[in-house]
Structure 1
Amino acid sequence: MTMPPTKFSRQLFALFTVTFFRWLVGPCEVVEREFGGHMERNVVHITKCRVLEGTKCIGICTNMCKMPCQSFIKESLGMPINIVPNFDEMSCEMVFGEDPPPESSDPAFSAPCYERC
């Protein structure tokens, strides 16, 4: 079942994520951002990503989390999502309703590996 990307569904996806996936992704909260000219609560801010913290590997983040999650959520649930990692802080933002940039221009793929990688 897919939901059309409306303000209600974008905010519902964000609320669902922080309610049911905190154990998987780490501490997180819904934050309000400008979207399409108005404010929405469609962004999940993960303050300390468990994938990055546990693996300390940018490649695992981008190839085993970011890309598969973006594809699954869009293809299976009909919701565009852009997952934006912050490798310096090991945090992440999930922006529901926003298409990700092409891999060739996505800043996440130009980040260098951590020293221990």
Structure 2
Amino acid sequence: MVKARTNAETVETTVRILRSLFPPLLLELYKMLVTPIGNGKLAAIMVARVTALTCQWLMGRCTTNSVDFPDGSSWASGVFVERCKYLEESKCAGICINTCKLPTQAFFKDYMGVPLLMEPNFSDYSCQFKFGLLPSEASEDEILRQPCLEICPNANRRRELKGNYDETPCPKV
């Protein structure tokens, strides 16, 4: 986030990094051959399992769980991160949103054909991944209006200057 001029550039850079972790043909084949099966159900379940198994080094302990869909169905396409190390170490809602939530949602939708809704919980540092669900529109996503976390070093400096906790959205979002 330090090198990018805008949040959009940060998101684009992170998506580019995520893409670089996969052989290009693999992403295209997955999107063409696996994603269409069962209207995306198989792809969402597979991605959830692989995410829970391979991303614990970055996020912390993860378990798969069920996701409820608007049509009343439920798939085992969720990943619950008990306490995200990435969020806890960054101490910043803006870093979570711009280098994890938004680019990860974009990557899975655009390059694997799997919609993803990520719901970070800024009070207990957990995060719920819901593969198969589209993310909210930016104008409707409450997470994008998150104030700075109480542990944020920038919020602490502002609090010392103002003498209170600032409820305005995180300036890095």
Normalised to the residue count of structure 1, the TM-score between the two structures is 0.92
**Structure 1 residue 43 and structure 2 residue 82: aligned?**
no
Structure 1 match to 2:60? 26
Q: Can you give the 5+ residue segments of structure 2 that lack an aligned partner in the other structure? A: 1-27, 153-173
The 1:116/1:22 distance shift into structure 2, 3 A limit, reads closer
Identity of aligned residues (%): 36
Q: Which of 124, 130, 140 is the matching residue for 1:89?
A: 124
Within-5 A mapping of 1:1-117:
1=28, 2=31, 3-4=35-36, 5-35=39-69, 36-117=71-152
Structure number with the higher helix fraction is 2
CA offsets 1:61-108 (integer angstroms, 9 cap, x no match): 011110011111111111110111011110001100111011121111
Q: Can you give the 5+ residue segments of structure 1 that lack an aligned partner in the other structure? A: none
Report the count of equivalent residues: 117
Cα distance between partner residues in 2 of 1:115 and 1:44: 26
Cα distance between partner residues in 1 of 2:137 and 2:67: 22
Normalised to the residue count of structure 2, the TM-score between the two structures is 0.64
2:40·2:114 contact (CA, 8 Å) conserved in 1? no
Cα distance between partner residues in 2 of 1:34 and 1:51: 26
State the superposition RMSD in angstroms. Answer: 1.3
Cα distance between partner residues in 2 of 1:115 and 1:86: 13
Please tell me whether Structure 1 or Structure 2 has the larger radius of gyration of its CA atoms. Answer: 2
Deviation at 1:47, TM superposition (A): 0.3
Deviation at 1:45, TM superposition (A): 0.3
Deviation at 1:38, TM superposition (A): 2.1
Deviation at 1:57, TM superposition (A): 0.5
